[in-house]
Amino acid sequence: MLWFITALFLLIGRPFGLTPWTQDASWPYLVFLTLFVFIELSRLEIGRNTRLFNQALLFVASFVLIIMIGTALFLLPNASTRPLTLTEALFTATSATCVTGLSVLDVSTDLTRSGQWLLMLLFQIGGLGVMTFTSFFAFFFKGRSSLEEQLRIRDIANTSLGSAKQFIVQVILFTLGLEAVGAAIIYFITPEAMFPSTGEHVFFSAFHSISAFNNAGFSTMRDRMYNDLLRFNYPLMWVMAFIIIFGGLGFGIVFNFARYVRFWIVDHARKWFFGVPCRRHPRLVTVTSQIVLATSLLLLVLGCVFIVLIDWDKPDLAAHGTFGKISVMFFTSAASRTAGFNVVDFNLMSLPVLGIVLLLMYVGGSPGSTAGGIKTTTFALATLNIFATARGRKRVEFAGREISNLSMRRAFATIVLSLIFIGLSVTVISSLEPELPMIKVIFECFSAFATVGQSMGITAALGEPARVVMIAVMFIGRVSALTLLVSVLRQVQSSNYRYPKEDILIN
């Protein structure tokens, strides 16, 4: 606990001149203190009393804690080029931790390099999940891990008990490795003339690679990627689109599919070179992975096709050639699935395209990923249930498996709660900002709840009360309204009796 108290002393005492920070080199202190905060959090036995701390409550509380720390750090003088209000700091910390991307600040001018480092650190932590980081530090700095802690990690990672530790390490290594490769590629496909120094170029590459993988949507450039230096760089669009897609698939899905590919390559190599028959691996790819891959591919392709067909001749696309238009629309389809980068002006897009973008934002990424939204599995289960009901079937089936009733109930609850919260947010913000067009308010609320970050340019113009509402919407969208209710409501044990069934008239 000593390091935690020391870190708080430095953070609180620094504005009063009690610490030797300088304006040009304060970012190492921010990283240093943040790492020690996580080390101390990893040492706390917060999971001992399961009556007070269930998994949902731990998940929600971890985001609240990081948002509070981020807000305090953004209020420090070295984090910004001008004094920030409490609402601005809280909004920025929430948007970064919840990997939303909406901003009331201009990241390129309002934040110093220290503030940009802090922003990058927050959406890296928020994208992977706070409990993932604390679990990772617990393994390496605590020196031991109890059975109860491994059970908690198993529930967080949604994996088996034996592979919980291995899964956490794989997540960290895969994330850092992919982000490093993405940063290197971005460095070589962006012109050196854009940046005053090599250090600026390296930071730009790392920042955008991490932001893309975590589906954060933040950029160090003015107008994000909608400027002449970036919106015509088609290789950059394709690279960032694939980084976004990998970040939105989910770690469990990626690892499961990679395992299938590894077995396929090894078996066929043995067959070709040694004549050994291929081994049979039943159900190597899980039903969840099949649903996620099929739904993600369908949304990505259909989104791109519909946007191209509807807005092919729009003025905003006139400056691009055929390959450029396809690149722009593919990037827009991928980024609208919670990433938040834009190379088009949504104010110039047609209403049908805005409707498609709203659907893509609402569905979002996949479970266990850095993305938000209701998740591809929820959307797929709802669609499968519609077809099963229309055909008069009593069970929902996919790929030779019956979907459990619990999964269907969770999908239904997620959709209903999300629509309720989005509807409430639209109503409240419209009443607080009556002069704003309704379509822009709806677009912004969908973007906030799905943690996307796409904007029609009204976020910075919102008043203080509306910004507070948006903060709540971003937070609820990230932790999930269903998870929030589970963390608050007491778990009810199953009863040993059942009431008689009765059908209810629906239509």
With tokens 């950059």, the residue in question is 236
Average of per-residue pLDDT across 85-94: 91
- Distance (Å, whole) CA 122 – CA 109: 19
Whether residues 402 and 255 share a domain: the answer is yes
Residues 75 and 161 in one domain: yes
Structure tokens at 28: 């190492």
pLDDT of residue 93: 92
Burial of 221 (0-12, 13-18, 19+ CB in 10 A): middle
pLDDT at 427: 93
pLDDT of 441 strictly over 60: yes
Calpha distance 379→414 (Å, rounded):
10
The domain boundary residue, chosen from 162, 186, 210? 186
Tell which of 131, 159, 186 closes a domain: 186
Clarify whether residues 350 and 480 are in a common domain. Answer: yes
474 and 344 housed in the same domain: yes
Q: What is the pLDDT of residues 145-188, one digit of tens each?
A: 444 455 555 554 555 545 556 777 778 888 889 999 999 999 99
- pLDDT above 80 (res 366): yes
Whether residues 286 and 137 share a domain: the answer is no
Residue 165: the pLDDT is: 66
240 within a domain of the structure (yes/no): no
Residue among 312, 311, 313, 364 at smallest CA distance from 337:
364
Q: How far apart are the first and last CA of the chain?
A: 60
What percent of the chain stands above pLDDT 70? 76
**H/E/C letters for each residue in 186-244?**
HHHHCCHHHCCCHHHHHHHHHHHHHHHHCCCCCCCCCCCCCCCCCCCCHHHHHHHHHHH
Higher pLDDT, 6 or 372: 372
Domain assignment present for 207:
no
**Containing structural domain, residue 112:** 2-186
pLDDT at residue 17, as a whole number = 43
Find the mean pLDDT for residues 406-432: 89
Q: What is the CA radius of gyration of the chain?
A: 23
Residues 56, 179, single domain; the answer is: yes
The reported pLDDT for the residue numbered 45 is 44
Q: What integer pLDDT is reported at residue 470 of this predicted model?
A: 92
Which whole-number Å values give the CA distances from 249 to 57, 209, 297, 341, 364, in the listed order? 25, 16, 10, 17, 10
189 or 228, higher pLDDT: 189
Question: Do the domain assignments include residue 191?
Answer: no
Asked if 93 and 70 touch (Cβ cutoff 8 Å), the reply is yes
Same domain membership, residue 255 and residue 169: no
Q: Indicate whether 279 and 167 sit together in one domain.
A: no
Distant-in-sequence, close-in-space partners of 479: CB < 8 Å, separation ≥ 6: 59, 60, 63
What's the mean per-residue pLDDT of the chain? 78
d(Cα 293, Cα 319) in Å, to the nearest integer? 34
| Whether the predicted pLDDT of 2 surpasses 80 | no
Q: What is the reported pTM?
A: 0.82
38 occurs within a structural domain: yes
Q: Is the pLDDT of residue 495 over 70?
A: no
pLDDT at 242 (0 to 100): 92
Lowest mean pLDDT among 250-254, 375-379, 430-434: 250-254
**What number is the average pLDDT over the span 375-384?**
90
Residue 160 φ then ψ, to 5°: -80, 165
Domain contains 268: yes
Same domain, 404 and 283: yes
pLDDT at 96 over 70: yes
| Residue in 337, 375, 372, 349 with CA at minimum distance from that of residue 440 | 349
- Statement to judge: residues 304 and 433 lie in one domain: yes
Contact (Cβ atoms closer than 8 angstroms) between residue 264 and residue 253: no
Last residue of a domain, one of 139, 154, 186: 186
pLDDT of residue 205: 92
Does 448 lie in the same domain as 306? yes
**pLDDT at residue 229 greater than cutoff 90:** no
**381 close to 411: Cβ distance less than 8 angstroms:** yes
Q: What is the count of structural domains for the chain?
A: 2
Whether 20 is covered by a domain: the verdict is yes
Same-domain pairing of 354 and 274: yes
pLDDT score of 182: 92
Q: Is residue 74 situated within a structural domain?
A: yes
Domain-embedded: residue 199: no
Phi, psi of 397 (to 5 degrees): -125, 150
209 burial (CB, 10 Å; 0-12 / 13-18 / 19+) is: buried
What does DSSP assign to residue 348? G
